Structure 1
Amino acid sequence: MPHDHGHAHIDPQSGDRRVSIAIWANGLLTVAQIVGGILSGSLALIADALHNFSDMASLVIAFFARKIARRPADKRMTFGYGRVEIVAALINYTTLILIGFYLIYEGGMRMIDPPEVQGWTVVILGGVALVVDTLTALLTYSMQKGSVNIRALFLHNLSDALASVAVIIGGSLILLYNMRWVDPAITIGIALYILYLAFTEIGGPIRTLMLGSPPDIDNETVVQAMRGVDGVADVHHVHLWQMQEHEAALDCHVVLTADGWGQIEKIKAAIKDRLKDDFSIGHSSLEFEHEDRAHENADLYGHGKPEKEEENHVHRDTDSS
């Protein structure tokens, strides 16, 4: 069954402009919140300003990651630079987790001793923050469907927008009822939501960086598809991973029958076509073995047996594509 890796395609320059706008917007918001927090005596606003500063840092990381990822492969980075976006996503999710725990700590401390806050300042700047966070989220929404890096950024901004709503509600309750405990209580709730988002999403980048198999491809089905090609007796030492976020790759040993040994090129083409058409695996490296001299009891996945067994086997490497 073909695997659809479809995602939103946005012109790189247009995407860069969107991220640039978001960086400037978050930078101005951070300055405004720090000034407002100092003037109003609101530690909550200053804490939210630090949160937005982390968002701006995340935007900067994402911006440069996008540019670096477009560099072609070279002798230093033979696989290219595409994974820098995965690294950026991991950094951003890790930042979200740290922020979540920090907000829980701050919220807990304020529940014990809620500080005096000028409600109107909180409400006004909370409204400004909501507008900026919503704008940033909208700028990155269509881009996040095709990039784990931008998705991490989008979730950053989404959590900010929710936090801004909480700040407005908290400021309003302080104005109306002097319920100062509401602000830290809402902060803890938002922090728990941030942690939920981060821990839910961080597994993807970690899996890719750990050379895990693509989550949308069933390994057993791939193996059976290769075994089903005429002339193939078995496969082993299978490695299936993601070179980049939307680029799957495979290498393995293919054991050929005696009749198939004389048709290596034909069988190679058949396997590669099946991998590409059925699983969107565009890069595959295949090493062929004759069934009479194939590895015995070889592992299906991984690197296989000790080197001392290698001299007893006949291999024929093929070009990868």
Structure 2
Amino acid sequence: MSNFFSNIFLRNFFKYFYKISHPKSFNHNRRYWPYFSVERNAQGFLDKVFYKNKLIADNTKKNKPINDTCVIIATGPSINEIDMAFFRKQEYDYFGLNGAISLPDTNFKYYVIIDHDFIQNKFNLVTQILENKKCIFFTTPRCLELILRKYPYEEVQCTLQIIETITEKKLERFLGPKIILSQSLNTFDIIEDSNFGFSTEIFNAVYDYYTVAYVALQIAYYLNYKRILIAGLDMSNFTQPRFYETVDDKQPTRLEEDFEAIFLAFNASASFLKKNKVQVINLSINSSIHAFEKDKFQQFI
């Protein structure tokens, strides 16, 4: 108990010291300093992340996929309508989002979580990802900090890669300043003839548009997949539990409130991806996202 209060005292002291010793634009880093440090390349992209002077994430390690098709597994209720054999095919690489780890016997090559509330509330699922030696886990600085409060960094088995997210034109650089995007900043990719972004260099930053599925789409593009199948992208049944939840343990969501921005962002990304010869197929037939071609999972099993 004394160690607990000692740690809380130290954290609060470090936060206060950081606040008074750094400009206001750096305030979001109070929870990271002095435990974390980072290295960036000449372009400012995030290369390496250190925790207590130990390298824990190396974004410079490239992971070129063998397969040309990936499956992004979101968590809409329609997942329960798909034959589980679809999630066990050798010729597809699987991306898990949030609670997708609940699917039995799926070999997740990649995982993406950007929601720190999910880290807090569903940590029993997060630990399954951390213990997967074959998985590359993309997450944010905020999520990483929460994970390492709960889980010894020496015991992390997955490969961590850290991404920084742009939300509402704001980017809080990991141990750097907050950046407000404007038309004068051309460092980040903006889709032609739209007000929406789509990152082609994920370690510069990625756009989130309030859904982890949009982040995963940018990662899949960066990894050079030519065909992207998306399962569970329903966006049409917000009152229902996600496929891995029950009515009693359902977590709240803001997807319904943010749906217009999500809808328009996917529309813009569809145009960009088609132009760049990437086929995206939405396997949720009744999805409210109409940006991509729709098809039944049976065609790919």
Pick the TM interval, shorter chain.
under 0.3
With normalisation by structure 2, the TM-score equals 0.24
In our comparison, the structure showing a higher alpha carbon Rg is 1
With normalisation by structure 1, the TM-score equals 0.22
More helix by share: 1
More strand by share: 2
